Chains A and B, each alone.
Chain A
Amino acid sequence: MITQYHRPLTLDDAIALIARPDAVVLAGGTTINAAPDRAASTAVDLQDLDLAGIDVEGGGVRIGATTRLQDLVDSALIPTVLRDLARREAPSTIRTMATVGGTIGTADPESELLAGLLAFGARVTLARAGSPTEHSLDDILADAGLLNGSIITAVTILTSGRAAADRVGRTPMDRPIVMAVAHSDGATARLAMTGVASVPLVVDPDHIGDLDPPPDFRGTAAYRAGLAEVLATRVLAAVEGGASA
């Protein structure tokens, strides 16, 4: 339960605040406020730190960490497939609050947007006491400890190439049971999936059989493994066959 609320005006102030043992980083708040912990905590609201925005940078775009998912949906600078994944990530009332940084920090195992960012080779900038650091999104999802004491400030992705996504769910807009997204720069394709591991992850198409999907009532391990094969084949064929980003 949030017992103290701060809205720091500088990144340094924010970093100092999150050093407190009971601090929670408040981006959109859609995750924290949906499942309030009974333990006392101090909320550090990032809204005044000017961390939002989508800018062209190099061969791709730089997405500020507090950029809302709806802004991704609305931006012509974001590849079409990612815009669609951002739309699917949350409904209309939540994607106007949820942020890209928050999505990374939450690391929902069924997050289609994270899988999409992985496929697009996302790199994440972290601000901390001392110099900022940069990591692949893969590394951050593999080791949540990297986020300790830091604030995500930006995500960068490449925007050229082709991408395609496909999924299986109970209904068209259900959180997918398994989802696959592929991105190709023409030479190599990167495949990422949800629903086959405890986090969204990049998958080697030749080693899909090695996956050990965690089962739940929507899909047994065997079914998920089967879906992984089918969906991976479809999206890889689509990016090789000419689907645009």
Chain B
Amino acid sequence: MTITLTINGTKTGLDCQPRDSLRTVLRKAGYKSVRFGSETGETGAAAVLVDGRLITADLMLAAQADGHEVETVEGLSSPGNLHPIQEAFIETGAIQSGYSTPAMILAAKALIARNPNPTEDDVRDALSGILDRETGYLRPVHAVLRAAAVMRGEAPESVDVVFLEPLTDVDRPEAPEADLPAIAPRVVPSSDVPETRVVGKGETKVDAIKLVKGNPAFTDDVDLSGTLVAKVLYSPHANARIVDIDDAAALALPGVHAVLHHGNVARVRYASGGQSYPNPLPYDQVSFDNRVRYVGDRVAAVAADTEEIALAAIDLINVTYEVLPAVFDENEAILDGAPVIHDEPDMEGAHDASHNLVHHIEAETGDVADGFAIADRVFEQTMRVHQVQQTPIEPHIAISAWDSDERLVITSSTQVPFHVRRMVAPLLGLPVKQIRIIKPRIGGGFGVKQEMLIEDIVGHLTIATGRPVRLELTREEEFMSSRTRHPQTITFKTGVDAGGMLTAQEMRVVANTGAYGTHGLTVQMVTGLRGLSSFNSPLKRFDCKVAYTNIPVPGAYRGYGAPQALYALEVHMEDIADELGMDAIDFRRLNWTKVGDPLDIAPQLGEGDQDASVMPMVTSCGLEEAVAQGQRAIDWDRRNDPEWRQPSDKPNIRRGLGFAMAMHGTAIPGLDMGGASLKINDDGSFNLLVGATDLGTGSDTVLAQIAAEVVGVGTDDIIVYSSDTDMTPFDVGAYASSTTYISGMATKRAAELVRTQIVARAALMLDVDADSIDLYDGAAWSADGQSVTLEKIALSTLHQEGQHQIMADASYVSPESPPPYAAQFAEVEVDIETGQVTVNRLVMAVDCGVPINPVTAAGQVEGGMIQALGYGHCEEMVYDGDGRMVNPEFGPYKIYRADEMPDVEAILVQTMEPSGPFGAKAIAEIPKDAVAPAMRNAIANATGVRIADIPFTPERVWRALQDA
């Protein structure tokens, strides 16, 4: 049928099918800002305006919009200028991945048009239909308020960094500050941090323009002619052998170009976790197996002309299964008689596959039995942490194609392009040099994309068909067939002397790695590392069994074993304090690590190549300041106020405050490596090439700031290109909170080498000594008052004299992993008649060394806390008795919306970390680590009830209250 849409003011005739959604038709017409988030319409990534109303275009047929006016973000501005709403989103730091930013901007436009002076609640309601997994909604909400103010002709609130007075090591701490601007990043400065010009500022993100305009930037935004659509057939059974696959009917369907399965794809062993060579064992996967091990496991894949044909072909593949008994619980799976999940003879590297035991990790610093023997009291507790899904709003998507040189180019929403290239090569039977992986902008990663998950499928299909092939997971597939957090059963046993000091601490874990090993070894190593590093104990022991089960596969998820460990640890320490009659924070303070303390379990649980003779030590720690700042921000004294905790006017309500401490790592020492390359252009600008992977976290911007600081320019003179295996140096990718610290140091070193070359030419041109020259404001300045611009230096070196390209590259791997520290606080309200828990406030004060960009750093904390809130409060993967997920959909799987948020506040406590670029440590994962235990401890403060397991859903809390 033909329809007429007036798109951004232009009447446009379009051909479409009756079934086509407005989103499909708009994207086909080139409006790539209208995006896919789910097939059931809750994400709002496809939001547009129809007749001025905000609607989600994936739930409207194009035919319904026939004759109506449609606005997309492409119509909001022309090249070179920005709409005030777009400017506000940039200025407030409201853009992380930018995937849903166009939708938010349109929501703002519609709201402001009908209500020029909206309240915060009005804005939160307007954004309620746009799900965001990254920002915690705080900055987007304030972006809209800012835009409305500007459009009313008013001056907007400041967004500049606010420096808070330190509260520790001072004679008299300052009184609490008056209301700070809501999104001004709060930084507590450290006196030993040197002055910088670009580093330490909230510089605009280098990708802000394309994200705020919805310009084509994501994997799906590029159309290659002749692209086939891929679809995957997934297993309906939790455990089964594939006895037969009959693909004849599927192949015979017109428009089907290939059907792949174990019968026609080479059986090459691998592990899909995106990690350095050699990938940790076991190698328990093949592209297509003759066995399925969870509901959602891969069976076959097709490539066809259209999505309809591909889906029809999937239905026509006739599979005969021999269904086997399944096991889902990690404790049951390792018992005698449990179904054996990996019995294939060619599997490599499980500890004891006949008992579903993938790994048995043991580490100790002496015999804990001795410590328990001398303890005054010994405490033991067991907790279980459950399975949650990561839910980036952009699902996994990859497009593969032969280029003209007959090299295979795969554009993929991946965190690990270099690992993907290396890992996919043997599966496809191609050498690494014949493969190129490109990471464009991606719409959220969190670790679910630290995996070679679907690139082998599209590669196989391109090889089989000769055509470009596109595979995008549906939201249901993203829930069931990607990667989750590892569930664990954790037992802590701690000995305490009469004074409250730890004498021994033991952590025993049974972890559930689902059907395949992937990250099963290293996540659990981090669990032990983080579970036994926060507190000094003369004797420590970690014993961890990692079990196969038939659940959808856990993998890498932001926090990577730490959220599990720190939930259990911080609950355990809280309860010990309570038993001892000690203050919750004082007890921890007595035992927590400080500068100069050894990280004594780290050498045993580190993944990389480290010098065994060197004991890692804590070299920077701002925890005391973080605790003091957080206590003040949340008004910690209310914890002991009975009137506040049990309000007389609300007899069914109890209120409480909770604390938890977090300590994380910064990259993997001796393992994570990144490279950077910098060259000057004729106008004194630079190209910075880095392998590092910006997931929306802002790493391109942070690295640009580091380079800019060294060579004396602004970030707009650094053009960043990243994450292309042909064009950029190697980088392990975005994980382990490594990018700022590792890739940042590589960038700094490359920039320093370039600086040396610039200064040498400036010295010649100015006839002065090189060491009298400083670089800033785009020029070289000598002590005697002369100057020459970088542009002149570039022209001189490129064209005029002693011609050479000023350029340099550098790599970096660190022997250390300096821990960031954080103090997490939560305020909750519990309805004791119903068990409903409401979280009213979250505050995290974090020592991440020196934040290179306080705005993006604050955004990492604000967003990470909300994701962590879901872990403790409302998210869970639920299964029926046959192992099928019953809630693979937003809604039943509940993530937080803009209109139900607690207040969130991030406070950045500076310390000068000597080993980090300009003093930086990591910040990306630590916000995930302590919200759940802080909530749990707040519920205990409110009700007196100590709940063991997450999540704190109403019936669980209600039953805990009943049982108490």
Contacts and interface: CB of A to CB of B under 8 A. Distances in A.
A35 B836 contact: no
Contact of A227 (B47, B834, B874, B953): B834
B172 interface: no
A92 B127 CA distance: 7
A34 B954 contact: no
A168 B954 contact: yes
Given A5-B1, A5-B18, A93-B54, A170 B63 contact: no
A50 to B, nearest CB: 15
Contacts of B887: 217
Interface in A192-235: 217-220, 223, 226-227, 230-231
Contacts of B40: 34-35
Nearest to B43: A93
Contacts of A91: 42, 44, 128-129, 897, 899
A4 B874 CA distance: 41
Nearest to B880: A217
A87 B838 CA distance: 20
Secondary structure class of chain A's binding surface, majority of residues: loop
A226 B831 CA distance: 14
A43 interface: yes
Nearest to B954: A168
A173 B60 contact: no
Interface string A1-26: 11111010000000000000000001
A170 B59 contact: no
A92 B896 contact: no
A242 to B, nearest CB: 16
A217 B894 CA distance: 12
Contacts of B959: 223
Given A3-B19, A218-B955, A47 B125 contact: no
A97 B886 CA distance: 27
Contacts of A30: 41, 59
A93 B130 contact: yes
A5 B67 CA distance: 14
Nearest to B891: A175
- Sort chain A's interface into a size bin: 35 or more
Interface string B129-141: 1100000000000
Given A30-B41, A174-B894, A94 B64 contact: no
Contacts of A33: 21, 41, 58-61
Contact of B19 (A2, A7, A177, A219): A2
Contact of B54 (A3, A92, A226): A92
B894 A92 contact: no
B873 interface: yes
Which of A1, A4, A29 is packed against the most chain B CB atoms within 10 Å? A29
Which of A4, A7, A35, A172 is packed against the most chain B CB atoms within 10 Å? A172
A36 interface: yes
Nearest to B3: A5
A173 B61 contact: no
A45 interface: yes
B37 to A, nearest CB: 11
Interface string A138-177: 0000000000000000000000000000001111111101
Contacts of A223: 954-955, 958-959
A96 interface: yes
Interface string B804-843: 0000000000000000000000000001011110100000
A94 B40 CA distance: 11
A70 interface: yes
B793 interface: no
Nearest to A47: B64
B53 interface: yes
Given A5-B1, A29-B59, A168-B834, A173 B897 contact: yes
B18 A169 contact: no
Nearest to A33: B59
A187 B839 CA distance: 38
A93 B129 contact: yes
Given A33-B59, A33-B61, A218-B955, A94 B833 contact: no
B64 A93 contact: no
B900 A172 contact: yes
A173 B128 contact: yes
Contact of A170 (B53, B55, B125, B894): B894
Given A5-B61, A26-B64, A172-B838, A92 B874 contact: no
B388 to A, nearest CB: 13
Interface in B385-426: none
B54 A29 contact: no
Interface string B37-81: 001111010010000011110111101101000000000000000
Contacts of B897: 91, 171, 173
List the 8 closest pairs (A to B, CB-CB), nearest first: A93-B129, A91-B129, A170-B874, A93-B56, A173-B900, A92-B129, A172-B900, A91-B128
26 contacts: A2-B18, A2-B19, A2-B63, A3-B18, A5-B1, A5-B18, A29-B60, A29-B64, A36-B19, A38-B311, A91-B42, A92-B44, A92-B130, A93-B47, A93-B56, A93-B107, A97-B55, A97-B59, A168-B835, A170-B874, A171-B894, A174-B874, A175-B891, A177-B955, A217-B886, A230-B834
Interface of A: 1-5, 7, 26, 29-30, 33-36, 38, 43, 45, 47, 70, 87, 90-94, 96-97, 168-175, 177, 217-220, 223, 226-227, 230-231
Given A173-B899, A217-B876, 5 more contacts: A2-B61, A171-B894, A174-B900, A218-B953, A218-B955
Interface of B: 1, 18-19, 21, 39-42, 44, 47, 53-56, 58-61, 63-64, 66, 103, 107, 125-130, 308, 311, 831, 833-836, 838, 873-874, 876, 878, 886-887, 891, 894, 896-897, 899-900, 953-955, 958-959
